[in-house]
Homo-oligomer: A and B are copies of this chain.
Amino acid sequence: MTSTEEDYIKAIFSIAQGTANRMVGTNDIAREMDTSAASVSDMLKKLNSKELVIYEKYKGVRLSPNGTERAMFLLRKHRLWESFLVNKLGFAWDEVHDIAEQLEHVKSNELVNKLDAFLGYPKFDPHGDPIPDSNGTITLRNQVLLNTLEIGDEGTLIGVKMHNKDFLAHLNGLDLNIGTSIKVTECFPFDNSLKIMVNGKSEAYVTEIISKNIYLKKTS
């Protein structure tokens, strides 16, 4: 599988959310990958002939069992490298995506498994996303979005839904990181914004777009 094919597999998986393996449209993929629908069409034919996807003209495409396995392995590699970059090399969580995107294309199973061991078999990456283990299975957690909490509720930040660089950098500015404790002190129903207590010492004001993209583990 070429790097480009891998990128398509990843995009299809990502659009289908990993969830139901639902049908995905040509234009969706083109948008996600910033390329033309014509290019996507060509590639889908190719991936179909390699039995990595199930593709019907004009209908859409979804990953085959084989393709899903590949996607999980790519996810594993991506998230392990992100963990390495943040936990070992000292990058910030908003700086690692593009580099991990390159590293994940390096071909060597031995490398991935040794990296996994070196990192201590982490189950979650620096954004709180689950890392598939060497069998492709992932660990799930009880997590709720910040915008579902009510006044007085508390929790610990364990992940983010949006991976946008600007969003992550903004969270840095608010002192919101993995492990940060959060308590909701005020709700403004008008625009669904919140006032929160951060780590028990500073206050922060968060808009709905933010609270809808932060995962917490509720502590009370």
State the A residues within 8 Å of B (CB): 85, 88-91, 95, 98-99, 102-103, 105-108, 110-111, 114-115, 118
On whether the beta carbons of A107 and B102 are closer than 8 Å, the reply is yes
- Please tell me which one of the listed residues B88, B90, B106, B114 contacts residue A103 in the complex, with CB atoms under 8 A apart: B106
A82 vs chain B, min Cβ distance (A): 12
Chain B residues within 8 Å of A88, by CB: 118
Chain B residues within 8 Å of A102, by CB: 105-108
A218 vs chain B, min Cβ distance (A): 35
Chain B residues within 8 Å of A110, by CB: 91, 95
Chain B residue with the shortest CB-CB distance to A115:
B89
- Please tell me which one of the listed residues B91, B107, B111 contacts residue A114 in the complex, with CB atoms under 8 A apart: B91
Distance between Cα atoms of A111 and B95 in the complex (Å)? 10
Chain B residue with the shortest CB-CB distance to A118:
B89
On whether the beta carbons of A99 and B111 are closer than 8 Å, the reply is yes
Chain B residues within 8 Å of A95, by CB: 110
Chain B residues within 8 Å of A111, by CB: 85, 89, 99
- Please tell me which one of the listed residues B85, B90, B91, B108 contacts residue A99 in the complex, with CB atoms under 8 A apart: B108
A-B contacts, 6 of them at CB < 8 A, read: A89-B111, A89-B115, A90-B114, A91-B114, A95-B110, A103-B103
Chain B residues within 8 Å of A99, by CB: 106, 108, 111
A147 vs chain B, min Cβ distance (A): 34
Chain B residues within 8 Å of A89, by CB: 111, 114-115, 118
A127 vs chain B, min Cβ distance (A): 18
A6 vs chain B, min Cβ distance (A): 13
Chain B residues within 8 Å of A108, by CB: 98-99, 102
A176 vs chain B, min Cβ distance (A): 24
A108 vs chain B, min Cβ distance (A): 5
A101 vs chain B, min Cβ distance (A): 10
Chain B residues within 8 Å of A98, by CB: 108
Chain B residues within 8 Å of A115, by CB: 89
